[in-house]
Chain A
Amino acid sequence: MEEKPLIEMKGIVKVYPDGTRTLKGVDFSVKKGEIHGLLGENGAGKTTLMKILSGMLKPTDGRIYINGEEAAFKSPADALSKGIGIVHQHFTLVDVFDALHNIILGMEGHGLFSKIDVGRAKRKLQKVMDELNFQVPLDVPVENLPVGVQQRIEILKMLYRDVDVLILDEPTAVLTPIEVKELFRVLNTLKEQGKTIIFISHKLREVMEITDRVTVLRKGELIGSINTSDATPQILARMMVGREVVLRIQKPPKEAGEPILEVKDLWVVGDRGEKSVKGLTFEVRAGEIFGIAGVEGNGQTELIEALTGLRHVEKGKVLLNGKDITGKPPKELYDLGIAHIPEDRTNMGLILDMSVAENAILGLQWKEDFRGPLDSIRWVNVRKHSEELVREFEIVVPGIDAPLRSLSGGNQQKLIVAREVSKKPLLIIASQPTRGVDVASTEYIRNYLIKLRNENKAVLLVSADLDEVTQLSDRMAVMYEGEFVGVVKPEEVTEEQIGLMMGGIRI
């Protein structure tokens, strides 16, 4: 007999004010006490669907039933009162509050002058933590805690509110492998306690490992639900992208050549005055991909900004082809043969309000091809160049005059890659080149980086995606707190060893 679902969403449609149809009539149901995976590529509508379930967004059309009763949520508080809570991908904590005050925020002391019973709150919280064997320091400002702990605080915040249904949006994106294991243990404990968990992810392995059932969305449509025990990664991948994806990367062996980039004892200071890069020394050679792995926030961003002229170098030297380029501005570096695929594509790599064509020359605007007499822009050449990039990289655009905003994330990223490669550089610095990019574009971009390496370019790859670094790199370093924990060949280490290094343990 079919068990009655705890949550049932029927015919959910969401059209954003700009006309984007994110959900096109999706049905979704979750049984009590299961861990339910919600799988899909970026832009499939997973997060939108869950924001609707947690009361943050109102559906354009469709109904939600909780325990068979129709529910209409006007706000997250409504959803919480029905026992549904969400942990967002981007945390919603007050940085300067400690964990306790973050957790009880909005829960205690409803009157203007009513007293907060900290003692009682602490006892209740301690009980929750003991039951789960899941401890967090309650009296340290959360900004001083690692991301993994902040995530636990978010989870505790929901449990403190007595939720029955816990939604986790890409919870493992920011965690080290060891933290992921710990999270999974806690999720299983919660399941034993009778909680229902919805686990949003695009990582097949994790979904296979932790969930009981999986629902797959693709481009705003329901593809289907399947018991995890009946699924294989291949089946799920096919459901997710609509074709067999073999994220196989063809990488022929290759001898690396002369060093192109040499970094010597580099020190860089971060935004808050902290030492972010502490005396790094390494080189990237022609015809090699040098990967830097590590959990984000360990100095990778500052390192790349220093190498690309966007951040001050405190101490040390950077050489390109033997020439000192320390502290040179971006324009000069581009002229000398550096291309940069920045990690923050929407805030740095592109200007969303400008057209595709205008973005196609960002950083190239002085080149003779594009700049005519009297500082004029040679629009004819710019348009030709843009059309070439669009054609060669199969970028899907409404037109080269369309605002960049109208492109999907994957196509935006492809445009950056296309533009940077068109600089004909000696060295490509690629930072999180496939983050938030759909599977097909990811495959394309990764293979392109290998192609560049085969053409004897030097590639410096920084990525939080471990698979990406291990698949692509000829040599790789693991960065932890501004230093390299080790420089290894990816085929010579196990994933567990890399995980340990990401956690700061030298092997």
Chain B
Amino acid sequence: MNGKNFLKPFMESIIAVTIGVLVGAIVLAFSGYSPLEAYKALLDGALGSKYGIALTLSSATPIMLTGLTFAISARTGIFNIGAEGTVYFGAIAAIAFTAAFANPLMGLLGGILFGAAWSLPAAFLKVYRGVHEVISTIMLNWIAFFGALYIVLGPLANPNDPNKTISVPESARLGLILKETDLSWGFVIAVIAALLSYYLLWHTVLGYGMRASGYNERASKYGGINPKLAIIWSFVIGGIMSGLAGAVEVMGRPPSYAISQGMANIHGYGFDGIGVSLVGRNHPLGIILSGIFFGMLKAGATSMQIEAGVPLEMVKVVQGIIVVAVAVPGLWDLVKNLFGRGRQ
């Protein structure tokens, strides 16, 4: 766990980010925009003002948490892409719990409970029926999407505003760190979650067992570890992170403090989290940094559009290139690991 071990993956991620930015510049230039102006506008928007920095950090909050979901599973040898669906239920639980008890802790608890619960189907399918988690979590994401949509349009619908659900009551909202910005204490919660995840994986016996079974199931069994239990824990703890992501998003993101129609404001975080985790090399501390970087891209996109006239989608292109540049070696290792294990 010494410094040297961190340096190599860190440099690899920096290189990938550089490649992404450079290729993005080429794409921008070919599309007739000035890359310099565009990037300047992006940086300006993301870091140029108190408001921009706050927007960067608040945009980083949910994707750091969903990144942790992916990372904790990946360390246990599981390719869990079910964060997306779990976020929906986390958000719904937070709204429902705070509607019942107007207290932020209850909202967070709701997110944690629902997140953990929604992770169980895929966990049990994996452990007891051998269903590959990629298949089950993709399907469960769709079940979650329409299930959540039903709840958003039905039980939680706002009688006064057809465009969103009922809002989290004011007394149950997460306070703002900086007044008149988007930055709530949710960001601190996400950072604490990352630190706790790090502690779990590298400083507890449970985390030791999870990583051991992720690397080598046979050896972990020999070491007295129950790999099935390790896998279930990784799903549950991962689910908690995504559930929190949904809860924190609705409880701490002004102005609506609700789920908007079609769930647009809580959509896509699960998948962004995979990118965050890969760029952060599936390491909780790396995820803090890469989460902030992705938050920067999100926050700067708007000003890039306004100031440089570059469509929002171009940011997604840059994001995509970065993820591919990082993910190719990382994904390859993961796939090799997963399928190498299956061959035993």
Contact = CB atoms under 8 A, between A and B. Distances in A.
Interface of A: 308, 310, 329-331, 334, 340, 342, 344, 347-355, 358, 361-363, 365-366, 370-371, 374-377, 379, 401
B264 interface: no
Given A354-B212, A362-B212, 7 more contacts: A329-B224, A348-B219, A365-B205, A365-B209, A365-B223, A366-B205, A377-B203
Contacts of B5: 401
Q: Which 10 A-B pairs have the closest CB atoms?
A: A331-B224, A362-B223, A363-B223, A330-B224, A375-B204, A353-B215, A348-B222, A351-B215, A351-B216, A351-B219
B224 A347 contact: no
Contacts of B223: 330, 362-363, 365
Contacts of A334: 224
Contact of B1 (A340, A342, A344, A401): A401
A137 B130 CA distance: 40
B222 A371 contact: no
Interface in B106-121: none
Contact of A376 (B203, B216, B218, B344): B203
Interface in B80-121: none
B316 interface: no
A284 to B, nearest CB: 20
26 contacts: A329-B224, A330-B221, A344-B218, A347-B218, A347-B219, A347-B344, A348-B222, A349-B219, A349-B222, A351-B212, A353-B216, A354-B212, A354-B215, A355-B1, A358-B212, A362-B212, A362-B223, A363-B222, A365-B209, A365-B223, A365-B224, A366-B205, A370-B205, A371-B205, A375-B204, A377-B205
Interface residues of B, number: 22
Interface in B195-243: 203-206, 208-209, 211-212, 215-216, 218-224, 226
B160 interface: no
A370 B204 CA distance: 10
A152 B209 CA distance: 44
A357 B44 CA distance: 47
A165 to B, nearest CB: 33
A327 to B, nearest CB: 14
Contacts of A374: 204
Contacts of A350: 219
A32 to B, nearest CB: 42
B76 to A, nearest CB: 13
A342 B216 CA distance: 15
Contacts of B203: 376-377, 379
Contacts of A379: 203
B212 A377 contact: no
Nearest to B213: A351
A310 B209 contact: no
Nearest to A353: B215
A353 B216 CA distance: 9
A377 B222 contact: no
A357 B205 CA distance: 14
Contacts of B216: 347, 351-353
B219 A362 contact: yes
Contact of B208 (A329, A344, A348, A377): A377
Contacts of B221: 310, 330
A375 B201 CA distance: 11
B204 A376 contact: yes
B212 A348 contact: no
A390 B218 CA distance: 24
Contacts of A351: 212, 215-216, 219-220
A234 to B, nearest CB: 40
Contacts of A340: 222
A352 B344 CA distance: 16
A471 B86 CA distance: 61
Nearest to A355: B1
Contacts of A376: 203-205
Given A351-B215, A354-B211, A362-B212, A342 B205 contact: no
A342 B224 contact: no
Nearest to B337: A353
Contacts of A352: 215-216
Contacts of B206: 375
B208 A365 contact: yes
Nearest to A370: B205
Interface string B153-194: 000000000000000000000000000000000000000000
Contacts of A329: 224, 226
Contacts of A344: 218
A347 B218 CA distance: 7
Nearest to B208: A365
A450 to B, nearest CB: 25
Contacts of B211: 354
Contacts of B218: 344, 347-348
B114 to A, nearest CB: 25
B283 to A, nearest CB: 14
Nearest to B206: A375
B207 to A, nearest CB: 8
Interface string B1-17: 11001000000000000
A399 to B, nearest CB: 9
A64 to B, nearest CB: 32
Given A363-B224, A377-B203, A358 B208 contact: yes
Contacts of A331: 224
A42 to B, nearest CB: 21
B71 to A, nearest CB: 16
B269 to A, nearest CB: 30
Contacts of A348: 218-219, 222
